A = this chain, B = another copy of it.
């Protein structure tokens, strides 16, 4: 009766690559224990952790932020219902904000379709202030909508 899941099992359960799971570990997203031989052993709750990561990534959140969210969960004990509820609630807020931003853009675009983008002054797409996205070096992560 092996203690916990092997990394390959976790990969199968989540659909992630084994290499990705190890990579996430270097970013503090999962913190598996080790067995006698040095192999990683995961708890069942890690499946949910990684599923959460995948969902958040699909929304465009960077790993660093996801990791922060997850810091609210206990490392090796199974998280309580309250733990997950707290995180899920915050996540929901982020989703709502994102939906709101998209709807705003959509509404502006509606005006744009009407005008055919020919009246520059009033065109939403023309106004760069609406889409600020410079705040770091390297590739700007524009996947996150302006708050």
Interface residues of A (CB under 8 A from B): 13-15, 44, 47-48, 51-52, 54-55, 57-60, 79-82, 84-85, 88-89, 91-92, 95-96, 98-99, 102-103, 105-106, 109-110, 112-113, 116-118, 120, 123, 125-134, 142-143, 145-146
Contact = CB atoms under 8 A, between A and B. Distances in A.
B116 A85 contact: yes
A14 B44 CA distance: 49
Contact of A60 (B44, B125, B128, B143): B143
Contacts of A47: 120, 126
A134 B15 contact: yes
Contacts of A105: 55, 58-59, 95
B99 A15 contact: no
Contacts of A146: 58
A135 to B, nearest CB: 12
Contact of A125 (B55, B81, B112, B142): B55
A130 B58 CA distance: 10
B92 A59 contact: no
Contacts of A126: 47-48, 51
A83 B129 CA distance: 24
Contacts of A133: 54, 57-58
